[in-house]
């Protein structure tokens, strides 16, 4: 899985954040799709370009906000870790980055997420909820 993970991350290294194209939710959805073949973000891809557009689409799909969408979807399709601090490489995470909640993927050195100018690494202590994604390939 390590090679798969590194290959997955390569195109994101210097890709800047762009709502609806390269944002935290799509980043995590792309990883889940890579492992399982399931695209949880299909109803959202290409349908929003701004934070307001995203919020409207999330509500239209029946969720309160991004947190509700992410947590509900991952709880339905992945195994929640009992202790988030014990998340393993390849798990997906809901984390706190200085008061801003976002999605990321657990790596050996912490959690990888989409930053303004490309990938950023955050400490595992930022993880509030983690899910194991079961690879089906």
Segment 69-110, tens digit of pLDDT: 999 999 998 999 999 989 999 999 999 999 999 999 999 889
Angstrom distance (rounded) from CA 102 to CA 89: 17
CATH number of 2-132: 3.90.1720.10
What angle, 0 to 180 degrees and rounded to 10, lies between the N-to-C axes of helices 24-36 and 2-9? 140
| pLDDT at residue 1 in the model | 65
Computed over every residue of the chain, the mean pLDDT equals 94
| pLDDT at residue 135 in the model | 76
Average pLDDT for residues 37-61, to the nearest whole number? Answer: 95
Helices assigned H by DSSP within the chain? 2-9, 24-36, 51-60, 66-77
**Residues facing 118 on adjacent strands:** 115
Whole-prediction pTM: 0.93
Is the pLDDT score of 137 beyond 60?
A: no
């Amino acid at each position: 899985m390590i090679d798969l993970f590194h290959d997955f991350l390569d195109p994101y290294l210097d890709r800047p954040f762009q709502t609806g194209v390269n944002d935290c939710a799509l980043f995590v959805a792309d990883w889940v799709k890579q492992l399982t073949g399931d695209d949880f973000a299909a109803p959202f891809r290409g349908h929003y370009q701004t934070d307001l557009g995203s919020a409207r689409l999330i509500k239209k799909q029946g969720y309160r906000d991004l947190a509700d969408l992410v947590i509900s979807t991952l709880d339905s399709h992945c195994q929640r870790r009992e202790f988030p601090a014990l998340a393993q490489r390849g798990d997906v995470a809901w984390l706190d980055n200085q008061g801003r909640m976002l999605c990321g993927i657990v790596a050996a050195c912490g959690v990888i997420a989409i930053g303004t100018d490309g990938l950023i690494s955050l400490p595992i202590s930022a993880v509030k909820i983690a899910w194991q994604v079961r690879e089906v390939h």
